[in-house]
């Protein structure tokens, strides 16, 4: 670019993106770029998939190529967001333009103008330490903060100090996941100091309509998941109930169909202390609840014995069914698990002997699975096609239960206590956009008891991941 062109493009990032990068920003992306050019500070809240990373990468290259000796510190809450998404996006636009490749060098942590690696650059710094954005001094500074709702306020302090210098700019974008902090304030009490942009995913041509429909179908338009992931709005002040009461009441009123069973899942939630209860909850073929058993003590040997009694009862009732016992081993449930593993050979032998005696010497094979489960394990998606992830395995277990109730695929025991436990647990959306279920300690502070029956039901339906320890016989 010649001198006059540079002066023109320095004030016109939209034309720069279209003419130099050969990209086609939509109207929302154009609004963001114009705000960066005109305002010292720009804050963008939006739904998922509207093209934030592309805009940020365009802003990096625009500022880098239209100012002398600029510095562009970029940060995000996680290495994945910063390097795998934002930094890779910048590289894509450089790689696709031979002229840029001749002028700009891209490395895994820095992008710089050839010949000026220490004076003319953009650099990636994860926001995991307070001083991530400290120490940058230049006449032209552009701070870019991705997923800003998840960045701690202390990281913003050096940015605010630098913004007192003319020529310094800030662009921060993110899903509005938290109702506190610097990013939240930029759209509320400090709004007049910012150029604010709001992008609703329903108004973006880049957001797949099927994604919006799925979020609405699964969580409803009034849910925080829809507000954050689609509408680009901050969560409501009161958290949502993760499972709707109407689904539970419908499931409790459903008459389960009788018949044979392929699998009997037995969820075992073992009481840790106080007035919590130990619960054994059997479910047939992942859809037919049978009567749960509840015990108010912490005697792991007795609970193990109760499990053996239930195993034998269902082995008699369903002779061809596989039985899977799934035990929460985060607390004293590990003792129940160990005892069942120790007793496994005896239980199998006794069931096989009883079957042989009842069938004249020929016994149907008995398959028993003893499975170690952890509510505090890794999260992920309940199903590969889900639009959002769960923060941990508690969310995965309850998420699978939620989907069966939502779709009407499960009958549950007609128990007011169970319905209450299922429908009063709240959830929130964390700074990574993942669903976080309310902790039991928080539920108790609200005057609720531990959801032991609901946990046992969730365990009964859960399929532990292969990386968890599992014994099958």
178-211 pLDDT tens trace: 888 899 889 988 888 899 999 999 999 999 999 9
Q: How far is CA 318 from CA 123, 311, 341, 457, in A?
A: 63, 11, 22, 20
Give the model's pLDDT for residue 131. Answer: 77
In this predicted structure, the answer to whether residue 425 has a pLDDT above a threshold of 50 is: yes
In this predicted structure, the answer to whether residue 243 has a pLDDT above a threshold of 60 is: yes
Q: In what order do the strands lie in the sheet with 41-46?
A: 104-106, 110-113, 121-124, 71-75, 141-145, 168-174, 41-46, 195-199
Write the pLDDT tens digit of every residue in 313-345. Answer: 999 999 889 999 999 998 889 999 999 999 999
Of the pLDDT bands very low, low, confident and very high (cuts 50, 70, 90), residue 105 is very high
Give the model's pLDDT for residue 2. Answer: 64
Q: Which residues contact 193 (CB under 8 A, 6 or more apart)?
A: 41, 186
Q: Which residue has the tokens 């309850």?
A: 398
User: Which residues are 369's β-sheet partners?
Assistant: 324, 472
Q: Which residue has the tokens 């365009």?
A: 58
In this predicted structure, the answer to whether residue 251 has a pLDDT above a threshold of 70 is: yes
In this predicted structure, the answer to whether residue 172 has a pLDDT above a threshold of 90 is: yes
In this predicted structure, the answer to whether residue 81 has a pLDDT above a threshold of 70 is: yes
Most confident of 126-130, 158-162, 358-362: 158-162
Which of 19-23, 36-40, 271-275, 314-318 has the lowest average pLDDT?
271-275
Most confident of 119-128, 234-243, 389-398: 389-398
In this predicted structure, the answer to whether residue 269 has a pLDDT above a threshold of 50 is: yes
Give the model's pLDDT for residue 472. Answer: 42
Give the model's pLDDT for residue 45. Answer: 94
Closest CA to 199 of 52, 355, 58: 52
Closest CA to 251 of 453, 405, 398: 405
What value does the mean pLDDT take over residues 353-380?
84
Write the pLDDT tens digit of every residue in 127-148. Answer: 877 777 888 888 999 999 999 9
What value does the mean pLDDT take over residues 230-242?
83
In this predicted structure, the answer to whether residue 468 has a pLDDT above a threshold of 50 is: no
In this predicted structure, the answer to whether residue 470 has a pLDDT above a threshold of 60 is: no
In this predicted structure, the answer to whether residue 239 has a pLDDT above a threshold of 80 is: no
Q: Is 278 in contact with 304 (CB distance < 8 Å)?
A: no
In this predicted structure, the answer to whether residue 445 has a pLDDT above a threshold of 90 is: no
In this predicted structure, the answer to whether residue 377 has a pLDDT above a threshold of 70 is: yes
And the tokens for 142? 């552009």
- Encode the chain in three state secondary structure: CCHHHHHHHHHCHHHHHHHCCCCCCCHHHHHHHHHHHHCCEEEEEECCCCCHHHHHHHHHHHHHHHCCCCEEEEECCCHHHHHHHHHHHHHHHHHCCHHHHHHEEECCCEEEECCCCCCCEEEECCCCCCCCCCCCCCCCEEEEECCHHHCCHHHHHHHHHHCCCCCEEEEEEECCCCCCCHHHHHCCCCHHHCEEEEECHHHCCCCCHHHHHHHHHHHCCCCHHHHHHHHCCCCCCCCEECCCHHHHHHHHCCCCCCCCCCEEEEEEECCCCCCCCEEEEEEECCCEECCCEEECCCCHHHHHHHHHHHHHHHHHHCCCCEEEEEEECCCCHHHHHHHHHHHHHHHHHHHHHHHHHHCCCCCCCCCEEEEEECCCCEEECCCCCCCCCEEEHHHHHHHHHHHHHHCCCCECCCCHHHHHHHHCCEEEECCCCCEEECCHHHHHHCCCCCCHHHHHHHHHHCCCCCCCCEEEC
And the tokens for 256? 């389960």
Give the model's pLDDT for residue 259. Answer: 77
In this predicted structure, the answer to whether residue 162 has a pLDDT above a threshold of 80 is: yes
Please give the Cα distance from 396 to 193 (Å, whole number): 41
Closest CA to 426 of 194, 186, 244: 244
Say what percent of the chain tops pLDDT 90. 61
Say what percent of the chain tops pLDDT 70. 95
Give the model's pLDDT for residue 136. Answer: 87
Q: In what order do the strands lie in the sheet with 378-380?
A: 240-241, 426-429, 435-437, 390-392, 378-380
In this predicted structure, the answer to whether residue 265 has a pLDDT above a threshold of 90 is: yes
Which of 8-17, 297-306, 453-462 has the lowest average pLDDT?
297-306
Give the model's pLDDT for residue 1. Answer: 61
Q: How far is CA 149 from the centre of its chain?
A: 15
Give the model's pLDDT for residue 311. Answer: 97
Q: What is the pTM of this model?
A: 0.72
In this predicted structure, the answer to whether residue 287 has a pLDDT above a threshold of 60 is: yes
What value does the mean pLDDT take over residues 306-311?
96
In this predicted structure, the answer to whether residue 118 has a pLDDT above a threshold of 50 is: yes
Write the pLDDT tens digit of every residue in 382-396. Answer: 988 889 999 999 999
Buried b (16+ CB within 10 A) or exposed e, 7-35: eebbebbbebbeebbebebbebbebbbbb
């Amino acid at each position: 670019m010649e001198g006059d062109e540079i002066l023109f493009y320095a004030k016109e990032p939209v034309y720069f993106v279209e003419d130099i990068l050969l990209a086609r920003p939509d109207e929302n992306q154009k609004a963001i770029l114009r705000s960066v050019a005109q305002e010292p500070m720009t804050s963008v809240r939006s739904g998922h998939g509207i093209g934030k990373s592309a805009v940020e990468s365009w802003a990096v290259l625009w500022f880098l190529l239209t100012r002398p000796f600029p510095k562009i510190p970029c940060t995000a809450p996680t290495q994945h967001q910063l390097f795998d998404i934002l930094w890779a996006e910048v590289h894509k636009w450089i790689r696709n333009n031979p002229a840029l490749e001749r002028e700009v060098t891209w490395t895994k942590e820095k992008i710089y103008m050839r010949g000026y690696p220490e004076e003319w650059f953009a650099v990636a710094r994860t926001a995991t330490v307070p001083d991530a954005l400290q120490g940058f001094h230049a006449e032209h500074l552009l701070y870019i903060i991705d997923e800003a709702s998840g960045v701690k306020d202390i990281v913003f302090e050096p940015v605010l100090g630098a913004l007192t210098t003319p020529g310094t700019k800030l662009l921060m974008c993110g899903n509005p996941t938290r109702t506190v902090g610097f990013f939240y304030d930029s759209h509320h009490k400090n709004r007049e100091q910012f150029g604010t942009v709001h992008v609703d995913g329903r108004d973006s041509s880049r957001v797949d309509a099927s994604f919006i429909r799925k979020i609405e179908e699964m969580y409803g338009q009034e849910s925080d998941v829809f507000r954050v992931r689609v509408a680009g709005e901050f969560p409501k002040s009161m958290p949502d109930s993760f499972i709707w009461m109407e689904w539970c009441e419908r499931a409790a009123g459903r008459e389960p169909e009788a018949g044979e069973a392929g699998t009997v899942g037995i969820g075992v939630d073992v009481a840790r202390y106080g007035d919590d209860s130990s619960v054994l909850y059997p479910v047939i073929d992942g859809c037919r609840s049978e009567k749960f058993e509840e015990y108010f003590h912490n005697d792991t040997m007795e609970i193990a014995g109760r499990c053996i009694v239930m195993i034998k009862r269902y082995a008699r009732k369903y002779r061809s069914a596989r039985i899977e016992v799934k035990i929460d081993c985060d607390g004293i449930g590990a003792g129940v698990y160990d005892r069942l593993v120790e007793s496994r050979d005896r239980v199998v032998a006794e069931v096989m002997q009883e079957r042989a005696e009842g069938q004249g010497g020929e016994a149907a094979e008995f398959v028993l699975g003893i499975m170690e489960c952890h509510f505090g394990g890794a999260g992920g998606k309940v199903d590969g096609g889900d639009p959002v992830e769960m923060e941990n395995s508690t969310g995965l277990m309850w998420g699978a239960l939620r989907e069966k109730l939502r779709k009407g695929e499960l009958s549950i025991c007609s128990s007011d206590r169970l319905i209450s436990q299922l429908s009063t647990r709240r959830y929130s959306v964390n700074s990574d956009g993942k669903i976080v279920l309310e902790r039991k300690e928080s539920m108790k502070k609200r005057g609720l008891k531990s959801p032991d029956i609901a946990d046992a039901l969730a365990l009964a339906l859960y399929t532990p991941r292969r990386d968890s320890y599992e014994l099958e016989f």
